[in-house]
Amino acid sequence: MSHGVMLVFTNPASPADDAEFNSWYDSIHLSQVIERVDGIVGARRYDVNPDANGRKYLAVYELDRDSALVEQNLGEAFDAGRLDATPTLQLDPPPLIIYANAR
């Protein structure tokens, strides 16, 4: 049973980075997050149309526990270097992350 979702709205660092960004996100990042972050059990990406708050892409991660625990686990995974980063991810403004717990 799903406890909720994590919505992550992102952009590539520049239009020229779009293909490389999507390749990294689809073939590396999603699987790493599912495999290496406790509490995230599935993920799917979407093109946002029209752009949401200036962001072009949306990833929806399925959570099997409370979002506060997943947020902590995700931070620990990044801090420990268990998730690969990419320079093709726009950081200014940063990705927009929204956690929603099931009712």
Domains and CATH numbers, the chain: 4-101 (3.30.70.100)
Instruction: Note the pTM of the prediction, 2 decimals.
Output: 0.92
- Alpha carbon dihedral 4, 91, 58, 96, in 10-degree steps, equals 40
Q: Which tens digit of pLDDT belongs to each residue from 39-90?
A: 999 999 999 987 678 899 999 999 999 999 999 999 999 999 999 999 999 9
Q: Which tens digit of pLDDT belongs to each residue from 7-37?
A: 999 999 999 999 999 999 999 999 999 999 9
Cβ atoms 30, 76 nearer than 8 A? no
Helix (H, G, I), strand (E, B) or coil at 4: strand
Residues with Cβ within 8 Å of 88's Cβ and at least 6 positions away in sequence, in order, are 12, 13, 17, 20, 21, 24
- The Cα–Cα gap between 87 and 31 comes to 18
- The Cα–Cα gap between 18 and 89 comes to 9
Whole-Å CA distances, 96 to 1, 35, 58, 103? 25, 22, 9, 22
